[in-house]
Amino acid sequence: MSIRKKLLILLVMVSLIPLMVTFVLRQMSMRIARAHITQNIHTTMDKNARNSLAELLAHYEQIMVREQLLMEGLIRSQARETELCLDLDEEQRIQALMQIYTDVSRLSPKGLLRQQTLMVDGSFICYPEAMAPDLDFRGKPWFDRVRQTSELLRIGPYIDPVTQNALMTIAMPIHQKNGVLTGVTAIDRQVPDLMTNMTLPERWREDAERLMVRLGSQKKDRNRLTIFLRSHTTRERGVGYSIESEILASDDSVNYEAMIQSIKAQQPGVTRMDYRGKDSLWAYGRASTGGVLPVLIVPYARVVELAAVIEDQLMGQSQLWWRFGGMVLLVVFVAMIVLGVTRARAITQPIVALTEASGRLATGDYSTRTRIETGDELQILGEAFNDIGPHLLDRERMKRSLEIAGAIQQNLLPRANPTLAHFDIAGRCVYCDQTGGDYYDFIPLEDQPGGQLGVAVGDVTGHGIGAALLMAAVRGVFRQGAREYGDRLQELLAHCNNQLAQDSDDDKFITLFYGILSSRDRSLIWASGGHDPALWYHHRTDRFEELPNTGPPVGLFEGMVFDQLGPISLESGDILVIGTDGIWEAQDSGNEMFGKPRLMELIRTNQEENVQALCASITEAVLNFVTPSLPEDDITLVVIKTH
């Protein structure tokens, strides 16, 4: 039977059968459709609301982590600069400290209240506020804690007795040149300003609750949440905050207990349960400093409010359609008989033409075109088909371009392993795409005394073309700076950081490890900008040590400060492995990570191999671990062995 006859029969059946059953099933269909649509709309709105709340808290957490890293960098800078001013006379020291505080305040995120330095002798300086000169602030809890630990501490949130505001404090000790503790410097931030990072959709804002809560500290309250800070939003008063100590509770004890257990396990989530007699969605994040976590509560009626409006509109349209359905179907039935006879041939001819053109395209003739002028969807289909050839040709060209880009990027990596007395050195990089963002380099330092070699390993955020371009830029800036700054590693990383921060977006940065090997005394100095610690295997004692990070990621913000560590002396048989997180964060089909313990055992087992073989063993082990999947991140490492 020809397509024209089949088409005619099909059109008649499509027209006749609905006409016969429409009126019989009218009422039943309306009820089924209403129930189905209502269920789907409510399910979709509920799912979207849960996703929106979860994404909002995840975004808030990312902002808080970035701001915490920034504040740690600023307090370290403030402490270091304050120590440098201790030898000045009082007037010069105050002027210098005010300039330091002004610079730190300018770089800090929103919410900064004050900066202060308290000395063990009772003297203090505060910016921008002035405090009564006859008060002794050495009794502040954080002052004693920092003195006792001599480490950077994050305190709070707590209620400031002076301003009665909710504050968080980050503090560091100040030492004299001889190492004696001379005071504590701190930065106070207002917690309400941090809550402005949680921006709810306009349709929820007036009725929603934004809370900062913490688990109760008393034994009887350990399974209950206490409200620390509440945000109020009204049309008349806008946004405001109140400090409270109310218990946050719900009549739904089962879901409430499940939420408490998730909070204790540091697992954020969204749940639906009662709040003050109203069915609500609760979204909660992870507890941060001081055990405080954000909670968002939105009345469920607000979540599905739009669903009710959409449901009414759909039902109105459905009723209108059923009212005129019989008449329309009758007209359609007659029209299909006429059109089926007259248009069948017009439909089949373009199909034949498309079939012939498809055969030519399949053989690789990308210039194949077909001409269909029916003025309907077949013509649109023909035009779409005509666009396929150029697109396939463009994809072929893009594929070749990516292959060329990958080859160029491989040429930017070292072509051969370097030679340095007392050391065997090898590096390897495996990209998960045709191009990637990982980077390693060996930089000869001929102008430095003795035999020295710079070793760099970096990991640009993301991968692909964008990361590859940023990697190339980093390589150029870093190679030039490495020879200029020599063994002043902190200045080198600061120079590269400022260059990248000026030329790249806020979400583009690189974690970077750079060290200088000296053959004269078999030593290493290093600086690390946000990079995972390098692994140092001590051959003689058969133990591992991590070389700590010395600063934030490179390229986040201008003005970041980096430290330099070392030198450390390497003994014969010691092994250094400097890698990127594509090694230990690689996941198998069960989402289990490769992990550093597995890497350490691999190094210990293969310690007698040469560095090239050890590089190959580690890379092969990671690739086998993720099989049958492909690695989701670039794999890069440098292995250094002392002899």
Please tell me the least confidently modeled range out of 359-373, 464-478, 486-500.
359-373
523 forms beta bridges with: 518, 569
d(Cα 638, Cα 643) in Å, to the nearest integer?
A: 16
Instruction: List alpha helices for 132-200, DSSP H.
Output: 141-149, 191-195
What was the pLDDT predicted at 415?
86
614 pLDDT more than 60: yes
How many CB atoms are closer than 10 A to CB 136? 10
The single residue listed with the structure tokens 């070699």 is 453
Q: Which two tokens stand for residue 99?
A: 């300039």
Strand partners, 175: 181
For 200-303, CATH gives: 3.30.450
Q: How confident is the model at residue 379 (pLDDT cuts 50, 70, 90)?
A: confident
Q: pLDDT of 582-610, one tens digit each? A: 999 999 988 999 999 999 999 999 999 99
What token pair was written down for 623? 């690739």
pLDDT, residue 625, reads 94
Predicted pLDDT of residue 375: 75
CB 431 within 8 A of CB 463: yes
Tokens 């499940």, residue located: 258
Q: Which residue has the higher pLDDT, 223 or 622?
A: 622
More confident residue, 568 or 234: 568
- pLDDT(339) > 90: no
Q: DSSP letters along 217-260, please?
A: SSGGGTTSEEEEEEEEEETTTEEEEEE---EE--S-HHHHHHHH
- Of 33-47, 344-358, 478-492, the range with the highest mean pLDDT is 478-492
Bridge partners of 295? Answer: 211, 284
Q: Is 91 exposed, middle or buried (0-12, 13-18, 19+ CB in 10 A)?
A: exposed
Looking at every residue in the chain, the average pLDDT score rounds to 82
The rounded distance, in Å, linking the Cα atoms of 478 and 494 is 11
- In 3D space, the residue among 325, 232, 316, 267 whose CA is nearest the CA of residue 58 turns out to be 267
Q: What is the pLDDT of residue 513?
A: 96
Whole-number percent of the chain with pLDDT over 90? 29
Alpha-helical runs (H) found in 22-140: 26-84, 90-107
Burial code (b: 16+ CB inside 10 Å, e: under 16) for 258-290 equals ebbeebeeeebbbbebbbeeeebbbbbbbbbeb
> What pLDDT is stored for residue 396 in this prediction?
67
Rounded mean pLDDT, 220-237 = 71
Mean pLDDT for the stretch of residues 149-154: 82
pLDDT of residue 236: 46
Considering only residues 187 and 379, tell me which one the structure prediction assigns the higher pLDDT.
187
Please tell me the predicted confidence (pLDDT) of residue 306: 73
pLDDT digits (tens, 9 = 90+) for 233-288: 554 444 566 676 788 889 898 999 999 999 888 899 999 999 988 999 999 998 87
Tell me if 200-303 shares its fold with 416-642. Answer: no
Tell me the average pLDDT across 160-182. Answer: 83
Q: Do 583 and 618 form a contact (C-beta atoms < 8 A)? A: yes
pLDDT tens digits, one per residue of 12-64: 666 667 666 665 666 677 677 777 777 888 888 889 888 988 998 888 888 88
Report long-range pairs for 78-83 (Cβ below 8 Å, ≥24 apart): 78/104, 78/115, 78/172, 78/185, 78/187, 79/172, 79/173, 79/174, 79/185, 80/561, 82/117, 82/174, 82/183, 82/185, 83/174, 83/175, 83/176, 83/177
Distance CA 46, CA 298 (A): 11
Termini Cα distance of the chain: 85
**87, 132, 638 from 90: Cα distances, Å:** 9, 18, 50
Domain ranges (residues) in the chain? 200-303, 416-642
pLDDT digits (tens, 9 = 90+) for 125-134: 888 865 544 4
Does the N-terminal peptide bond of residue 201 adopt cis geometry, omega within 30 degrees of 0? no
Annotate 544-556 with DSSP letters as a single string: EEEE---BPPBTS
User: If you classify domain 416-642 with CATH, what class do you get?
Assistant: alpha beta
* Nearest to 75, CA basis, from 65, 67, 63: 67
**CB contact at 8 A, 192 and 165:** yes
What type of residue sits at position 21?
Answer: V
Distance CA 205, CA 239 (A): 10
Q: pLDDT band for position 564 (50/70/90)? A: very high
Q: Could you report the per-residue pLDDT of 76-121, keeping only the tens digit for each?
A: 998 898 888 888 887 888 888 888 888 888 888 887 888 888 888 8
3-state secondary structure of 16: helix
490 burial via Cβ count (<10 Å: 0-12, 13-18, 19+): middle
Report the 10 Å Cβ neighbour count for 602. 19
